[in-house]
Every structure is written in C-alpha cells, then in structure tokens.
C-alpha cells in the first residue's frame, strides 16, 4: 500500500450547503501533507471525514487500508488526531494529561511510564512534568497536545490548525517536531493558513469553497501556477496606487504585502514601463506561496463570474 490516504470524489453536504465537493487526493506514507485554504474552505470538514468522525455524504476513501464509509471505527482507533479545539485538562499536570490519554488509547500499564517519558522528551517538556496544563504557555500547550495525540504511536497523524494562536518561534518548534515524526515514517496531515508552514509541507492541497483547486509540492506550484514575471516594488502610498496599477494593460495581477507591492507582468520586458509609471524600481522576485494562492483564488473567481 503506497498511499496512507486515498479519496475519490469525497463530498460532504450540510443541508443544502456543500462543504466539501468531490475531493480526490492521494497522500503518500511518511509525507507531510498540508491542506491550505481560507476560513470556511472545508479544511476541518476534510480532516474530520478522514478521521472517521464525520460521515461523508458521497464518494469514497480509505485510510491505512480501512474504508472511510464502512470502517470508521477502525480508523478512529489507529490514527492520532489533534482537533482545532484540542482538549487538555487544565487542572491536570503535564504528566497526568499524558497518563489520561494513555488510558484512553488503552496503552498497557507496564508501558505507560516509558511512553509518557518519551512524549515528554519529544515535546521538550522535561522538567515541567508536574506543572498544571493551565499554567503552560501556548507553544508548550500545543506540544503537550501533540504528545497526547501520538502517545499511541499512530502511523498517521491528523493535525487541524495545530499552531493557531502561538508565537512564530513556537510554530517553528512545533513544525520541527512534525518534520521529525515524518522522518521516522509517520504520515502527517495538517491544516494551516500560514504560508510559512505550508512551505514546510511535502505537498499542499489548496482548498477554496470546498473544492480542491491545486495540489502539488510547494516548488512545483510556484513554477506552474504563476505565469509571467513577478516583480516587487516599494511604494509609500501603496494602498492608493494598487487599483491604478492593476489596470495597466501589461499587469496581470497585483497584491499588497505590507509596504511592498507584488506585480505580475506579462513579461520582464514590461518592467521599464512599470518603473516609469510608478517612479519606483521594480525587482524580479520568485513568487511566494502567497502569490500562488492569490493567483489561484483570482482564477477561481474569474471562472465563477
Ligand atoms: N456541522 C455543520 N453544519 C453546517 N455547516 C457546517 C458544519 N460544519 C461546517 N460547516 C460549514 O462548512 C464550511 C466549511 O467549514 P470548515 O470548518 O470545514 O472550514 P475550515 O476550512 O476548517 O475553516 P477555518 O479555517 O475557519 O477552521 C463552513 O461554511 C461551515 O460553516
Ligand atoms: Mg477549521
């Protein structure tokens, strides 16, 4: 079995609203696979279906060889899952939280101590074993939650926005752990709307309004999606100028990134005209994943309207 997860036209409808529309993906073993998309695009719905928690309306799929529609209970038992609103017990210590989850997963008593100390070491919580969960900072809490989710040593792990609300340093530390798990062979399916995190995934699936609009490695997406010459310029009054620049005939796209404007030109030959028009100096850049997403979102909009 090459794929840890495989779906075919997986769909979930709530009433008359289609939250996920015919999602077909293949996730390789040991891969870090990221679902990226704006709020409401269907990331949580997808993860919940793949975990066997939410029944698909139609379509099919399998996780580690188990059928999503017929064997959701089996799937629940073998995966690790950290939900978007993961629950730690605030009034239990770090050690007690891990012990509690070890109990839920039915880890035999004789193995628990060893497993818990491995998790404490993995989550860089050594010395904090007796601290109450409520007293941990955001990054530590998230790492403890990860420890709880993988105490049963699952070979596939689902993480729904595991790093929301923690500092950039905390997020980096968390992703290092994910990388390590993947290096050891664990398949990691993660949702995020942080581009820097998406950048660290082996493969990214972009969701927009319940539909998969692109799926590839970060590098391939940058090469294949953004067609033209991407340049960056610094303009003091960037917000006032963006509409005007967007209308230039050789400009395909325009987006604001802080003080910087990213402009997608038909070709590099249009740089001079842009410089003259803006009285700034454009510099060729490699498109970022954010640029990829902006391009994809605009393409979608054009197709719909
Ligand atoms: N139980 C439900 N009943 C009705 N609608 C739902 C239900 N669960 C999700 N939805 C809707 O489905 C859509 C997708 O929601 P989902 O939570 O999967 O998005 P998301 O990408 O995880 O968003 P976020 O980034 O905010 O977490 C949303 O419009 C949401 O309102
Ligand atoms: Mg969500």
Q: What number is the average pLDDT over the span 255-275?
A: 93
Closest CA to 159 of 146, 171, 168, 169: 146
Choice between 30 and 291, residue whose per-residue pLDDT is larger: 30
- Relative to the CA of 48, which ligand 1 atom is closest? 18
Give the per-residue pLDDT at 1: 66
What residue spans define the domains of the chain? 3-217, 227-286
Model pLDDT for residues 87-119, shown as the tens digit of each residue: 789 999 999 999 999 998 889 999 999 999 999
Mutate to test the pocket of ligand 1, among 35, 41, 165, 213 (most ligand atoms within 8 A of CB): 41
Name the band, by pLDDT with cuts 50, 70 and 90, for residue 166. Answer: confident
Fold for domain 227-286?
Alpha-Beta Plaits (3.30.70)
- Relative to the CA of 45, which ligand 1 atom is closest? 18
Rounded distance from Cα 250 to ligand 2 centre (Å): 38
- Relative to the CA of 17, which ligand 1 atom is closest? 5
Range 3-217 has CATH code 3.40.50.300: yes
Give the per-residue pLDDT at 293: 86
Q: What residues does ligand 1 touch, defined as CB less than 6 Å away?
A: 14, 17, 19, 37, 39-45, 84
Model pLDDT for residues 23-74, shown as the tens digit of each residue: 999 999 999 999 999 899 999 999 999 999 999 999 999 999 999 999 999 9
69: β partners: none
Closest CA to 20 of 57, 51, 52: 57
Given a cut of 90, whether residue 173 has pLDDT beyond it is no
């Amino acid at each position: 079995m090459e794929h840890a997860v495989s779906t075919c036209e997986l769909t979930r409808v709530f009433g008359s609203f289609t939250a996920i529309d015919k999602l077909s993906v293949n996730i390789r073993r040991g891969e870090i696979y990221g679902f990226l998309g704006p709020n409401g695009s269907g990331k949580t719905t997808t993860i919940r279906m793949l975990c066997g928690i939410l029944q698909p309306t139609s379509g099919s799929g399998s996780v580690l060889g188990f059928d999503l529609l017929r064997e959701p209970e089996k799937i629940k038992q073998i995966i690790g899952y950290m939900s978007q609103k993961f629950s730690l017990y605030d009034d239990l210590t770090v050690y007690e939280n891990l012990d509690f989850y070890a109990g839920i997963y039915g880890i035999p008593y004789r193995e628990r101590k060893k497993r818990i100390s491995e998790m404490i070491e993995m989550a860089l919580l050594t010395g904090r074993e007796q601290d109450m969960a409520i007293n941990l900072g955001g990054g530590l809490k998230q790492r403890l939650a990860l420890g709880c989710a993988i105490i049963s040593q699952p070979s596939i792990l689902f993480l729904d926005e595991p790093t929301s609300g923690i500092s950039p340093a905390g997020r980096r530390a968390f992703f290092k752990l994910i990388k390590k798990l993947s290096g050891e062979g664990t398949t990691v399916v993660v949702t995020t709307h942080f581009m820097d995190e998406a950048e660290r995934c082996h493969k990214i699936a972009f969701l927009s309004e319940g539909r998969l609009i692109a799926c590839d490695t970060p590098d391939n997406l940058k090469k294949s999606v953004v067609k033209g010459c991407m340049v960056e310029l610094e303009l003091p009054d960037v917000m006032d100028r963006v509409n005007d620049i967007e209308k230039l005939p050789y400009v395909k796209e325009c987006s604001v990134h802080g003080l910087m404007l990213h402009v997608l030109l038909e070709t590099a030959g249009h740089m001079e005209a842009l410089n003259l028009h803006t009285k700034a100096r454009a510099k060729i850049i490699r498109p970022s994943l954010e640029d990829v997403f902006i391009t994809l979102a605009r393409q979608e909009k054009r197709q719909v309207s």
